[in-house]
């Protein structure tokens, strides 16, 4: 790299350089924020049985509360993406944590459905804004060869947060009640948000396109072990070429997603996120109901969802590794087709018996591995497709469209179960994953193999981001 009075490519320093301890610390902070996001996202589900009993209302009365929360997350994801590109990833992430923390803590004080619905919507805005900025921050602090794994590991913290929430709910709900669960879920992000505001730095790739913050950029590079002399000019050549001026106003960023350079990939990402979220959330929402309706005990039905989540964690880790080895196109197409095949196989597994079967648990785990691998690696793909100027906007909009698929799954899942039971249910999931596969096949800017990326970086002055 050039030194002295010459030009230094910040993007190349990040993409090709070592992965320092400081960069890993930033990744850990982003991941922790997502753990809290996952906890608060699922807190209402843990508390629902106790709320129904205490308030004396029917289960159906909470449908609008759940739907409003999912819609709020969709809107918050898009808003958070715009905010991340406009004011920076760190500020948008910390702001999102303050919003969902304060609103979740406020839920501990509500006394009825109307108050719960209002605060859940506001909390969901923050929950939605957290994820795109955390994943973007993780991506932009990680070298290219490790980026798919780092983003996937960050996304994995959503189910990990749900698992932490389940453990805490098992302790807090019987002893202190549902209000304590929301109080803990609200105070934790408020405290950590304050800590992150002090210790988490802004993304160097964001700072590279903000001339007024060059001093801050030099400080960040020094903390990464890449100090630059004052006479050097710091640029991000790859992003400047890929951005096409998209780092301007918000309308320019949104137009860039549908410009000739990115239209096909934007549509492909939106369709893939939408259909994959349908497949994931229809399981989260309705698998226990399906299994209990087939005569299984509640414990056995819960074990089925646990197997699905466990497979999802392992599958997502394997998916990030596979992308680094063979690139995202073959890896993600295999994941999506695996989701199709395993869903079809589940149609053939008997669902009778109070305790279920080992075969059912194994197929649910395998299906969870394929589907969650595809869903989690979609975030890495979105971070790769878009340049810095529109990366948070592009990722946020894609995730927001996915949230709409989650909302749809609540209603479609119920309709299919009433009409055709388990056979129609798994057919729905197989169809959603088939659409995901087709959408992934249509995307142009897939992540190349790590070896190919390294060769490309060595042969060019402005490596692909």
pLDDT of residue 3: 44
- Residue 262: phi and psi, rounded to 5, are -125, 0
CATH topology of 7-237 equal to that of 256-455?
A: yes
464 or 68, higher pLDDT = 68
433 or 382, higher pLDDT = 433
Alpha carbon distances (Å) from 31 to 89, 162, 190, 355: 14, 13, 16, 36
Q: What percent of the chain has pLDDT over 70?
A: 84
pLDDT of residue 395: 81
Q: How far apart are CA 71 and CA 77, in angstroms?
A: 10
Residue 19 in this model has a pLDDT that exceeds 90:
no
Mean pLDDT, rounded, of the chain? 81
Q: What is the pLDDT of residues 67-96, one digit of tens each?
A: 788 888 888 988 888 888 888 888 999 999
Q: How far apart are CA 37 and CA 15, in angstroms?
A: 28
- Residue 456: phi and psi, rounded to 5, are -65, -40
Q: What mean pLDDT is predicted for residues 182-198?
A: 94
Q: What is the pLDDT of residues 226-251, one digit of tens each?
A: 766 666 666 666 555 544 444 445 55
Residue 32 in this model has a pLDDT that exceeds 70:
yes
Would you identify the CATH topology of the domain 256-455? Growth Hormone; Chain: A; (1.20.1250)
Q: Read out DSSP for 10-25?
A: HHHHHHHS---HHHHH
Would you identify the CATH topology of the domain 7-237? Growth Hormone; Chain: A; (1.20.1250)
Number of helices (H), then strands (E), in the chain: 17, 2
Alpha carbon distances (Å) from 157 to 109, 115, 434, 454: 28, 29, 26, 28
Q: How far apart are CA 95 and CA 91, in angstroms?
A: 6
User: Are the C-beta atoms of residues 307 and 364 closer than 8 Å to each other?
Assistant: yes
Q: What percent of the chain has pLDDT over 90?
A: 28
Q: Quick count: other Cβ atoms within 10 Å of Cβ 271?
A: 21
Q: How far apart are CA 77 and CA 155, in angstroms?
A: 14
Residue 180 in this model has a pLDDT that exceeds 90:
yes
User: Are the C-beta atoms of residues 453 and 464 closer than 8 Å to each other?
Assistant: yes
Q: What is the pLDDT of residues 114-143, one digit of tens each?
A: 999 999 999 999 998 998 899 888 888 888
Residue 1 in this model has a pLDDT that exceeds 70:
no
- Supply 261's token pair: 């350079």
Per-domain residue ranges of the chain: 7-237, 256-455
User: Are the C-beta atoms of residues 374 and 322 closer than 8 Å to each other?
Assistant: no
Strand, helix or coil for residue 60: helix
Total-model pTM: 0.70
Q: What is the pLDDT of residues 300-325, one digit of tens each?
A: 766 777 788 788 878 888 887 888 88
Quickly state the pLDDT bin for 455 (edges 50, 70, 90): very low
């Amino acid at each position: 790299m050039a030194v002295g009075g010459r030009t230094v490519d910040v993007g190349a320093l990040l993409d090709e350089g070592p992965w320092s301890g400081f960069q890993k610390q930033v990744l850990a902070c982003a991941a922790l924020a997502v753990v809290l996001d996952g906890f608060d996202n699922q807190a209402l589900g843990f508390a629902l049985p106790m709320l129904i009993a205490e308030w004396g209302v029917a289960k159906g009365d909470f449908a609008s509360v759940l739907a409003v929360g999912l819609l709020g997350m969709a809107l918050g994801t898009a808003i958070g993406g715009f905010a991340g590109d406009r004011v920076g990833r760190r500020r948008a992430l910390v702001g999102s944590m303050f919003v969902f923390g304060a609103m979740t803590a406020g839920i501990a004080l509500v006394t009825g459905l109307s108050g719960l619905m209002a605060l859940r919507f506001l909390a969901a805005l923050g929950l939605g804004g957290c994820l795109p900025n955390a994943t973007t921050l993780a991506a932009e602090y990680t070298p290219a060869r490790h980026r798919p794994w780092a983003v996937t590991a960050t996304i994995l913290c959503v189910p990990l947060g749900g698992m932490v929430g389940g453990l805490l709910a098992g302790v807090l709900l019987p002893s202190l009640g549902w209000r304590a669960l929301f109080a803990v879920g609200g105070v934790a992000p408020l405290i950590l948000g304050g800590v992150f505001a002090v210790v988490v730095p802004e993304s160097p790739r964001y700072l590279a396109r903000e001339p007024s913050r060059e001093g801050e950029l030099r400080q960040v590079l020094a903390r990464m072990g890449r100090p630059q002399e004052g006479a050097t000019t710091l640029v991000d050549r790859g992003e400047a070429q890929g951005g096409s001026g998209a780092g301007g106003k918000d309308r320019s960023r949104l137009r860039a997603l549908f410009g000739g350079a990115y239209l096909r990939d934007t549509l492909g990402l939106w369709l893939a996120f939408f259909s994959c979220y349908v497949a994931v959330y229809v399981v989260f929402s309705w698998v226990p109901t399906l299994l209990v309706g087939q005569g299984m005990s509640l414990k056995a039905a819960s074990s089925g969802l646990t197997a699905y989540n466990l497979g999802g964690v392992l599958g997502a880790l394997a998916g990030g590794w596979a992308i680094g080895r063979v690139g995202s196109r073959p890896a993600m197409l295999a994941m999506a087709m695996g989701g199709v095949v395993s869903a079809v196989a589940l149609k053939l597994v008997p669902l009778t018996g109070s305790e279920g079967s080992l075969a059912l648990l194994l197929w649910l785990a395998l299906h969870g591995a394929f589907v969650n691998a595809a869903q989690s690696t979609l975030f890495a793909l979105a971070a790769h497709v878009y340049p810095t100027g529109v990366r948070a906007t592009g990722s946020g909009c894609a995730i927001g469209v996915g949230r709409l698929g989650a909302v749809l799954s609540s209603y479609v899942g119920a309709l299919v179960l009433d009409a055709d039971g388990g056979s129609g249910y798994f057919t729905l999931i197989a169809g959603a994953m088939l659409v995901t596969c087709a959408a992934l096949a249509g995307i142009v800017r897939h992540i190349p193999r790590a070896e190919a990326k390294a060769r490309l970086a060595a042969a060019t002055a402005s490596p692909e981001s």
